[in-house]
């Protein structure tokens, strides 16, 4: 059985990946297996997602898991690093992966590298949230919230126009605007009563909401992110 680990920034990433694994790849949810670690299973594969609770905590967590891999009870052979590139160019992102995360093996053009850990081969895949622009005034950032907004914008353009008007008001009041600001404004309008225990607004955007499920394919399925994520899925049980 192929065993994989994905390290993510936080609970919003987990909520999004959980829905993608479930809705798009037919995973069986294994639930929590350890603190901040969740399992997803197929007939021939198991992928665990480990939350770092912040991008700044990811490097040490990744380095620790790689260092302890030879003696680990669960020896995965593939690792995904799921993160927001933000405004950093790709070369700077790869530098972050090589130096901060202690992944110094050569990275190829597909965002992958083959690392040697003791006598084991470990394939590492960069899973960057990056699917293109939505709102012009926020175009410098690449992150999960922007992907979620791209899905929402497909479902209701009139709501998107309302969010743009709200962002203009926030900007005129000299308040900082971020992709999280835009997403939270939209979530407050559409998912005001969403249950955080089921993934909150992010889970609705990535699959629990029927309207966004219909839009999800047109936004994400042709992306590099989605094609790389497929590597972490397996065959659905008959």
User: Which residues partner with 127 through β-bridges?
Assistant: 82
- Apex CA 68: angle with CA 120 and CA 12, to 5°? 105
Give a yes or no: residue 237 inside a domain. Answer: no
Contact residues for 216 (Cβ-Cβ < 8 A; gap 6+): 23, 24, 151, 206, 207
Specify whether 154 is located in the same domain as 195. yes
11 and 121 housed in the same domain: yes
Question: What integer pLDDT is reported at residue 87 of this predicted model?
Answer: 86
Q: Which pLDDT score, from 0 to 100, does residue 127 have?
A: 93
Residue 108's pLDDT is 78
Domain count of the fold of the chain: 2
Per DSSP, the chain holds a count of helices (H) and strands (E) of 9, 7
Residues 32 and 69 in one domain: yes
Q: Do the domain assignments include residue 238?
A: no
Mean pLDDT of successive 10-residue segments in the chain (238 residues)?
Answer: 95 94 88 87 95 91 89 91 89 83 76 81 91 72 91 88 87 84 89 76 93 90 90 86
Domain with 160, as residue range(s), is: 136-220
pLDDT for position 109: 67
Predicted TM-score of the model (pTM): 0.91
Query: Over the range 120-137, which residues count as b (16 or more CB within 10 Å of their CB) and which as e?
Result: eebbbbbbbbbbeebbee
Do 115 and 181 belong together in one domain? no
Same structural domain for residues 115 and 214? no
CATH of the domain at 114: 3.40.50.10620
101/35 same-domain check: yes
The answer to whether position 52 is within a domain reads yes
Q: Does 20 share its domain with 114?
A: yes
Q: Are residue 9 and residue 117 in the same domain, yes or no?
A: yes
pLDDT score for 157: 86
For residue 47, is it within any domain?
A: yes
């Amino acid at each position: 059985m192929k065993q994989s680990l994905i390290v993510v920034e936080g609970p919003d990433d987990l909520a999004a990946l959980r829905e993608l694994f479930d809705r798009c790849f037919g995973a069986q949810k294994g639930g929590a297996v350890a603190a901040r670690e969740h399992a997803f299973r197929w007939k021939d594969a198991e992928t665990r997602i480990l939350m770092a609770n912040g991008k700044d905590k990811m490097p040490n967590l990744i380095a620790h898991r790689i260092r302890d891999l030879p003696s680990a009870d669960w020896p995965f052979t593939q690792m995904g690093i799921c993160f927001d590139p933000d405004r950093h160019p790709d070369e700077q992102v790869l530098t972050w992966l090589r130096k901060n995360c202690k992944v110094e093996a050569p990275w190829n053009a597909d965002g992958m590298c083959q690392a040697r850990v003791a006598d084991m081969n470990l394939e590492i895949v960069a899973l960057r949230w990056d699917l293109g622009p939505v709102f012009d005034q926020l175009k410098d950032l690449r992150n999960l919230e922007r992907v979620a907004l791209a899905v929402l914008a497909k479902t209701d353009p009139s709501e998107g126009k309302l969010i743009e008007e709200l962002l203009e008001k926030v900007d005129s009041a000299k308040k900082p605007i971020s992709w999280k600001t835009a997403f939270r404004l939209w979530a407050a309008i559409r998912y005001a009563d969403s249950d955080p225990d089921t993934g909150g607004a992010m889970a609705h955007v990535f699959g629990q909401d029927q309207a966004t499920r219909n839009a999800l394919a047109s936004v994400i399925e042709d992306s590099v992110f989605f094609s790389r994520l497929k590597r972490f899925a397996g065959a659905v049980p008959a």
